[in-house]
Structure 1
Amino acid sequence: MPEYNAGKVTDYADGDRKVIVCGDKEVGVFRLGDEFYAWHNRCAHRAGPICQGRMMKRVLEPVAEDHTVRAMEYDESEINIVCPWHGYEFSIRTGAHQGNSQVRLRKADLTIRDGEIYVVLQ
């Protein structure tokens, strides 16, 4: 399986991302805390460049008993990536779409050796 160097672990601060060219594909590598995640740079909706979209906290809209929304809240523990084409939001940790968890980004495997991050494509 081909491996592509995505840089050193120390090149990524918390919340950083890089889009890596892996042959004829692009993969986004993300760091959240001490964890790394990698997703193919193709939105599950219309194949837009998802990994180049805005990263933001998950938006929550608590619904009151009268079915109104009075405020928005943000989930500090869940960071999403938002597709720049149509606004679809996916969890960086799981790849799941926030409105329909059956819709997911395509995961790329990562391995870390000697402080270097490698994207592994199958």
Structure 2
Amino acid sequence: MSEYSAGKVDDYADGDRKVVICGDAEIGVFRIGDAFYAWHNRCAHLGGPVCQGRIMKRVLEPVDADLTVRSQAYDESESHIICPWHGYEFSIRTGQHPGNARARLKKAEIIVRDGEIYVRP
């Protein structure tokens, strides 16, 4: 299986991403802390360029006893990617949509070797 270069580890700061062309596929490579994650740049909803969307902390909407939402908060431990087409959000660590277990991103294999990052679609 072919490997494609995604740059050097040192080129990525915490929270960075890069979209890499890998043959017929586009792969988004993300760095969260010291870990790297790679996802196909195709939203599970309608195929939008999800890896090019906004990165933000997971949005939490605490529900009151009367089932109304009075505020929003952010989970600082979980970063999400937001698809620019329709706003679907996915965990960068797991690729899963927080409210729909069937909606998830397609994972790409990531290899870190000698300070270089490679992906396999």
Question: What do the CA deviations read for 1:2-51 (whole angstroms, capped 9, x no partner)?
Answer: 00000000000000000000011100000000000000000011110000
Residue 2 (str. 1) matches residue 2 (str. 2) = yes
**TM value normalised by structure 1:** 0.97
Q: Distance in 1 between matches of 2:27 and 2:14?
A: 18
Deviation, 1:92, is 0.4
Residue 58 (str. 1) matches residue 65 (str. 2) = no
Q: Distance in 1 between matches of 2:120 and 2:113?
A: 12
Paired residues in the alignment total 121
**TM value normalised by structure 2:** 0.98
Residues 61-72 of structure 1 mapped to structure 2, 5 A cutoff: 61-72=61-72
Which secondary structure state, in structure 1, belongs to the residue aligned with residue 112 of structure 2? Answer: strand
Q: Could you list the runs of 5+ residues in structure 1 that have no partner in the other structure?
A: none
Q: Give every structure 1 segment of 4 or more consecutive aligned residues whose post-TM-superposition deviation is greater than 4 Å.
A: none
Report sequence identity in percent: 72
Deviation, 1:102, is 1.9
Instruction: Output the amino acid matched with 2:102.
Output: Q
